[in-house]
Structure 1
């Protein structure tokens, strides 16, 4: 599994959502068209596990969170970036999403929930902010950022 393989899988998602508003309706669409029991969702989760095990994904660590940008925004991804975090029972740093954030939640251990949500897709609209939190276990969270836009804040 390579970064290019991951890019090609995620491009199937970004191709479908390119130009759509980043809002709750988009989360519903993603959960319907790319469900947790679907082939693509499972393939992306397996790719994340392989990438982390191989050491090229989630290469950085801070405050008990492993993380890393997998792919910068690019035309192939319709100007989304791909980031992946590996979190277990932790609250991450507060940040703002100037253009929104699309999260793919992949529980790994226990009854892991990301910001109170189980496996599947969660969308934060433009100008939203949060302290990303995984409770009840361990999870990977892959997130797509339009234009790679994210602003870490002091809260």
Structure 2
């Protein structure tokens, strides 16, 4: 069934209310769909809206984990764990782009200025993520 498009802030508000009502527990996607009476794509848009505007709305971080689903957590340990998972996931994706495409591209076209620039930039991004992950891991150990 196709549902009418809702502005992201409306979807976000419905998701926010459902998550606040479930607090401190979280909700997985099927439960969010039922609780909000939105489609999966509308719930996803609501989640994106909440993540994009959480700071200006004064919300605690919206996190996700397999056990609890989506939830607003007031525990900094939960935030750091979510951040670590997110950075590791992004770093893995960047490494796969580099090893699967950019390096083979650079070997086949060693004089290509664009691939040299890409490789340099992506190597820097990868190093940045590695640094963030190490810092977050140290923070968790000392906390």
Alignment TM class, shorter chain as reference: 0.3 to 0.5
Structure 1 length as normaliser, TM-score? 0.32
Relative contact order higher in (CA < 8 Å, ≥ 6 apart): 1
Q: Give the strand-richer structure, 1 or 2.
A: 1
TM-score of the pair, normalised by structure 2 = 0.33
